[in-house]
Structure 1
Amino acid sequence: MRTLTLTLALLATVNLVGCASGLGGGDYERTETRRVMSVRMGVIESVRPVKLEGTNTPLGTVAGAAIGGVAGSTVGSGKGAAIAAVVGAVAGGIAGAAAEEGFTRKQGVEVTLKMDNGELLAIVQEDGGENFKPGERVRLLQDGRNTRVSR
């Protein structure tokens, strides 16, 4: 039974990492389809790498707590096992939350644009391998909620 619980918790954590949504210029949510987007043109002034923080949902904490609780319960017997299970669950929950954030962290880019009207804008998005270069002419797409840089 303990092995089954541990396996399910690990599968839940792995599944969470696989569900992380993209934040790049070419990544769209399903709800963004069939929306009108304004398009403005500009030239890239600069590009710099940034880190995008990972997700922080209850799933990482719960999965870590389950794994830690099961592992802790195998230590000792009687009250000692119960105490170890609680300590393991708390430590596992903290570790699970940290692991989720670390596994879902992404590399991003900050792109500074000089728009055709002279306005300077900076947009941060996930690095999708576009390799934007200063001096390159690009599109800025906006729909009122999201903004992205693309070719």
Structure 2
Amino acid sequence: MTMARHLATIDLLCSRDFPTEYGRSDVGTEGPGYHIAELATSDDFWEDDGTERDETETQYEFDRDGLSERLTSRWGSPGIFSLASVLERATDGEDIPEPWGTLSSHVPDVHLWKAVGHERWVALGVSQWDRELPFQLLAVVTEVDPP
């Protein structure tokens, strides 16, 4: 059921108009030219010795890969797009367009498609802002080309 709900959320965002302002939405955050859905969020890891964190990270990557397989059947194989160089460029002062600038600070890489029929980019990634904070499975739908 969760996989079906994630796919339904992605479908919704592929057809939803983009907002003119930055803010929260019913599924995550959004701004001009993009939607970010927080498909799943783990617990935090303040009291963890590292074991639970590692297991959770593996599970979130497994969930991303399973969802990626479903989207591959629609749009073909994804590109794996590292955001490390984007983060480096942003750190060096380059103005990186959203959502890519913010994503690069907490998502190491994304599975990326150009959604056929929607002319939007769809990306899946696993986010963690800091070692003690929760993991999130994110879906990004944007008209902004990756930098």
TM-score range, shorter chain: under 0.3
Greater fraction helix: 1
Instruction: Work out which of the two has the higher radius of gyration on C-alpha atoms and give 1 or 2.
Output: 1
* Structure number with higher relative contact order (C-alpha < 8 Å, ≥ 6 residues apart): 1
